[in-house]
Amino acid sequence: MTEIYVDADGCPVKEEVLKVAARHALVAHYVSDRWQRGLDHPLVRKVVVAQGADAADDWIAERIGPEDIAVTTDIPLAKRCLDRGARVLGPSGRPFTEASIGMALAMRNLKADLRDAGTMTGGPPSFSRQDRSRFLSALEVAVQAAKRARPVPPQAT
């Protein structure tokens, strides 16, 4: 059964994930290194991991499978999830794929180098209503694709 794994620290689309998960009766794991308020729903599993740079990433990457969906801005985590066969979305609705993850990692590293050199300052653009809408649409598409990809159990004769 498809499950959704959310890298919940700083994730701006927690409510949207819950909306789609509830519509499809899917379990959604919200993984963070601290307790999260709200999001009380029978399908929500709040997971608090030990504090540490990659504790939430490790928890997700160890459990996610080919029928599952990850929601993260963390590009190395996206790569790990793709390696396990999962579908991966960023909060803006941008899917990470095998074809795009290499470029995403390269851009991440380039931007880190530019920030370290003082050439690039500032952060990402603010999260918009359009990003939220794009994410909802992309998550719905990912859920539908995961459902179609599920093996069909043999029919009883």
**Amino acid letter, 65:** G
Tokens of 89: 């979305």
The mean pLDDT value for 47-72 works out to: 93
On the question of pLDDT at 73 being above 50, the answer is yes
In whole numbers, what is the pLDDT of the chain averaged over residues?
85
Residue 154: the pLDDT is 47
- pLDDT at residue 130 above 80? yes
Residue 28 has what pLDDT?
A: 97
User: Under CATH, which number does the domain 4-97+124-149 receive?
Assistant: 3.40.50
Q: How confident is the model at residue 13 (pLDDT cuts 50, 70, 90)?
A: very high
Q: Is the dihedral of CA 93, 99, 100, 104 positive or negative?
A: positive
Mean pLDDT of the 91-120 span: 71
DSSP conformational letter for 148: H
Task: Using DSSP, state whether 31 is helix, strand or coil.
Answer: strand
